[in-house]
Amino acid sequence: MAAASPHDALFKATFGQSDIARSELELVLPPQIRVQLDLATLVVCPGSFVDEELQHTHSDLLYAVRTRDGGHGLVYVLFEHQSSPDRTMPFRLLRYMVRIWERWLRDHPGASLPIVLPVLLHHGEGAWSAAPDFASMLDASPALLEASRPFQPHFRFVLDDLAPLTPEVLSSRALGALPRLVQLALWASRSFPRLRDAAPFMRAVAATLVRDERTRSLLIQLYVYLLRSAQPDVEVTAVRTILLEVAGPHGQEDVVNAAEQLIEQGEVKGLRVAITHVLGARSMPLSEVGRARLSVCADVATLTLWLERAATATSEAEVFAVAP
């Protein structure tokens, strides 16, 4: 499976938490839909609903929420993010929606299908420029589109476009402090000048946070994200200086931890690649089990030991053997 992008990691760490997702959906869902839903019941659905064919392209979150009419029907909210406009997004979302319905029918034979609401968060450099409705992808005249409406999929996705907003607007959105800070970070990650412009607003929002364990963990991930997102011509020390200003006097340690975590992630990635290359050069390509074991190990000491063994081992089992 392709490695997750820094956008994916931050997006899922943030909006994979029900209270943060609820804050975003309360802001962006149309009022006529929001009034029908009891967002206090919103929960994150575990796992992914897409199959092998789509797993390299998706970065989804799926929630279930009950309606306010007292019924037992569920409305699913499909939440995607995108860093650049994509004319095919309605079709991509339709494919994801079909996967949800397929799984629903598999788990609930004979049951009616639930409503699925597709929501897209865009955080690219420029404003979203593609149409948000499926009909825009169909090659037909307006008259033919209207005439064929009963026989074609017709839907729009809810679009939350961060790109054209200013840091001032982002910092004052009707969201909780954590999602506001994350959205500022997504906006600021596009360039160093953006990060400079957003920094005072990020610091003001960060200063309002209650620094519990969850918040500190998310802040460290946010700082890692901004360090990883720095353009090649930007010194990491310059980004780190701005982040220290954002963190304020009580958050300096979080920035330091983020920098150390980033270094360790680089070491882990390098060691995994080295082990794979050494074994491949010795005509001992890793099995599926071996690749899986390598991909889940993030301990530098263990990976270093495996690399040393890879140079002389006569089998894959010898590389991964537990030390006596």
The DSSP code for 73 is -
| Predicted local distance difference test score (pLDDT) of residue 47 | 59
pTM: 0.78
| E strand intervals along the chain | 37-44, 60-67, 74-82, 115-122, 158-161
| Residue 268: half-sphere exposure toward Cβ, Cα within 13 Å | 13
pLDDT in tens, 293-308: 888 887 888 888 898 8
pLDDT at 143 over 90: yes
Band the pLDDT of 32: cuts 50, 70, 90.
very high
| Predicted local distance difference test score (pLDDT) of residue 234 | 85
The C-alpha atoms of residue 282 and residue 311 are separated, in whole angstroms, by: 8
The domain locations on the chain are 1-130+153-164, 165-250, 270-320
Q: Which residues contact 81 (CB under 8 A, 6 or more apart)?
A: 7, 8, 11, 59, 120, 121, 122, 123
Q: Are 35 and 90 in contact (CB under 8 A)?
A: no
| Predicted local distance difference test score (pLDDT) of residue 7 | 74
pLDDT in tens, 231-243: 888 888 899 999 9
| Predicted local distance difference test score (pLDDT) of residue 3 | 43
pLDDT at 73 over 80: no
At 306, the amino acid letter reads W
| Predicted local distance difference test score (pLDDT) of residue 33 | 93
Average pLDDT over residues 266-278: 84
| Predicted local distance difference test score (pLDDT) of residue 297 | 86
Average pLDDT over residues 134-146: 93
| Predicted local distance difference test score (pLDDT) of residue 48 | 53
pLDDT at 55 over 50: no
In angstroms, the Cα distances linking 190 to 5, 198, 225, 306 are 14, 11, 12, 37
